[in-house]
Amino acid sequence: MEPVQALTELGGIAQLRDLRALTTRTALGRALASGLIIRLPRTMVALPGADSARSAAAATGGVVSHLSAAQHWQWKVKLPPPRPSVTVPRGRRLDRDGGRLLAQVDVHWSDLLPDEVVDGITCPARTVVDCARDLPFAAALAVADSALRSGLVTPTELLAAAARSPRTGRSRALRVAREATALADNPFESALRAIVLEFPLLRVRPQAEVVARGMVFHPDLVDERLGIVIEADSFEFHTSQEAHARDCVRYTALTVEGWLVLRFTWHQVMESPSYVRAVLTDLVARTDRRAKPA
């Protein structure tokens, strides 16, 4: 797999060793040398974006925000932002050079409080709330899940920040804050959960413990009431023969114990969510014939 695509599937930021497992050393070297991928502290690598966002913030007199701020805090995102995101004070006019930047930068207007900005970047809680108010649910949930995993934001802080956010978009922010969890491993799982949450009949828990054939598993999403397991089937974890064998054992054990197992790929969830919704629609239509496994 090409390094940029591999890193995109990993959420835009990853440990160098994880990226190496998905691509070749030669291709990775070229991507690093050309700036398509940048090195970060602690053996991390990421897609570029933070530097351009800082430049855009300086040019507009604003601060780095939204997905660009999420990247600064080294959170994984559903997809990297196509343009830098900045927030400028209300009433700020972007004339001349600033006006031309509007075609290259996502500009948001808001009067931020002093404690909502850290070194020219929106603080972690404000970053999550901004994304929750302005982005599609799946993208916002991926940011919120990653923020909770990082420990820079707690569930209580996130709920409080969403509750005191501006009225416009507050309900979206509260929804993301209530559904966010640190148990999701990556944006792939977050995006899949976001789709599943569109179906009220399905009541899934991420990483719930399931015992099958004497083995303990923690599937990505589990509906214990209906006996359904929904997996985000990532290429990241199937790069070796041993990993593939473990996955087969897991799938077989769950099936033998009576669980209905659905598996979706990264491309299906991220690029063809309509297919995932169609499958779940068919599933929900048949749930009246499902029985909980022993």
Per-residue pLDDT of the chain (294 residues; tens, 9 = 90+): 888 888 888 888 888 988 898 888 899 989 888 888 888 777 888 887 666 788 888 878 899 999 999 999 999 999 988 889 999 998 877 765 545 666 788 899 999 999 999 999 999 999 999 999 999 999 999 999 999 999 999 999 999 999 999 999 999 999 999 999 999 999 999 999 999 999 999 999 999 999 999 999 999 999 999 999 999 987 655 556 777 788 889 899 999 999 999 999 999 999 999 999 999 999 998 875 554 444
Q: How far apart are CA 238 and CA 231, in angstroms?
A: 13
How remote is the C-alpha of 65 from its chain's centroid? 16
Contacts of 252 (CB under 8 A, 6+ apart): none
Place of tokens 């006006």: 99
For residue 33, the one-letter residue type is A
How remote is the C-alpha of 82 from its chain's centroid? 16
Cross-strand pairs, 13:
46
Architecture of the domain spanning 188-289 = 3-Layer(aba) Sandwich (3.40)
What six digits make up the tokens of 247? Answer: 């996955």
- Whether the full predicted model's pTM is greater than 0.95, yes or no, is no
Buried b (16+ CB within 10 A) or exposed e, 95-118: eeebeebeeebbbbebebeeebbe
Extents of the domains making up the chain: 3-46, 50-182, 188-289
